[in-house]
A = this chain, B = another copy of it.
Amino acid sequence: MKIAVLGTGAVGRAVAAKLADLGHEATLGTRDPRATLARTEADAMGNPAFSAWHAEHPAVRLATFAEATQEADLVVNATNGGVSIDVLTQAGAANLAGKVLLDIANPLDFSQGFPPSLFVKDTDSLGEQIQRAFPDVKVVKALNTMTAALMVEPGLAAGGDHSVFVSGDDEAAKRMVIDLLTTIGHSDVIDLGDLSTARGTEMLLPIWLRLMGALGTPMFNFKIAR
C-alpha cells in the first residue's frame, strides 16, 4: 500500500519507518523537502536532524505534503494538532478526497506553558474538526493516546498488553485501520464508535502528561482491564 505520513517529527518518523518495514511504500510529507533535508540541528523536541534519521531509513521517501498525499492509498496525520488543518489544506482537499485519514494528532495548546491544555475538547474534537473541514476524507482517530515508540512497537511496554482506541464514522475505513494496527502488533484494539468518541481519546492527554511526570517515562500505555 502507498502511505503518506504527514509530519516529520517523532511520530511521523516512527510510523513511516514501521510501515516501510512492513513492506508498504511510505512517503513522509513535509512543507519543504529541501529545507527539511538541509537541517543539521536537532529540532525543538530533541529529535535528531532529519537528514541523520533519513540516512538510516532510506526506504522512506520524502515529498511535499501534496505530492505524498496525491499518490497515497492511506494518509496519516502525524502533525502537531495546532497545524493539522493547515497541513491538510496544503496536502490538498482533492488529493485527500475518498481516502482514509488516520489521525494521530492531539489538540495540544502549549501557549501557556507545560503541561499544555487542549484547544478543543469535550463537546468537539480535533478529529471532528478535520472531518468537517475535509468532508470527503474518511477520518479514523487512533494511536493518539501513547508515545511514538509504543505506537509502532507495542511490546516495548508490559509485553504489549495494553489497549489502542479507534474512532470513526466510516466502517470500512475503521476496518482498514484496525487491520493495520493488528499487523503492527496491537493486541487489544477497541472500536469506541463514531468519530465523536475521539473526544474521549483526545481528553486522555491531560492524564497522560501527568502520568509521564509521575512515572518519569513516556513508556507506558492505557490498558482497559476487564
| Contact status A209-B220, CB under 8 Å | no
Chain B residue with the shortest CB-CB distance to A208: B200
Q: State how many residues of chain A have any CB contact under 8 Å with chain B.
A: 39
The A interface, classified by DSSP as helix, strand, loop or mixed, is: mixed
Contact B210–A157 (Cβ < 8 Å)? no
Contact between chains at A225 and B222 (CB < 8 Å): yes
Contact B222 A224 (CB under 8 A): yes
Whether A207 lies near B214 (C-beta < 8 A) is no
**Extra inter-chain contacts (8) besides given A157-B225, A200-B211, CB under 8 Å:** A121-B121, A158-B225, A161-B225, A190-B211, A191-B214, A203-B207, A204-B204, A215-B224
Residues of chain A whose beta carbon lies under 8 Å from any beta carbon of chain B: 112, 117-118, 121-123, 157-158, 161-162, 165, 190-193, 197, 199-201, 203-204, 206-211, 213-215, 217, 219-226
